[in-house]
Structure 1
Amino acid sequence: MQTVNIHDAKTHLSRLIERAAKGESFIIAKAGKPMVRVVPLDRPAISEARRLGFMSGQFTVPDDFDRMGGDEIEQLFGSGE
């Protein structure tokens, strides 16, 4: 995501608005510190875009998932003693 300083944002506001309207987001910063994020209105909110469980039922996790590769890891890093 591009960061634009306030002076450049004021100078090129029309151009930046056009880019945002086409779907490109950007951040406006003051003295290098990010102040605001500009996003297009039709873009889904971040909370809407990150759905928990959206792939539920589409794959399975093996029962031994937490032990997979254990022997190889122990060989690489030792037993921890």
Structure 2
Amino acid sequence: MATVSIEDAQSKLAELIHSMAPGEALIITDGSQPVACLTATDAPPPPTPRKPGTLAGTVTYMADDFDAPLDELRDYMP
């Protein structure tokens, strides 16, 4: 477990983060007192691309009046 002062952490935070391995911890100290612990995580897996048409045929029922105007909205229609 590495230790770094709060001043060094402030000035080199991006560099420290990029140099850490997954699961590695870094203790940040103020003087000799530990004040924070920074732990690297695994990168999330990239999202799998979706394929067009994968849900084709899943809607098996649609009402005959699906496109008909709703009674609740008749007052707003021209």
TM range (shorter): 0.3 to 0.5
* TM-score, reference length from structure 2: 0.46
TM-score normalized with structure 1 length: 0.45
Larger helix proportion, structure 1 or 2? 1
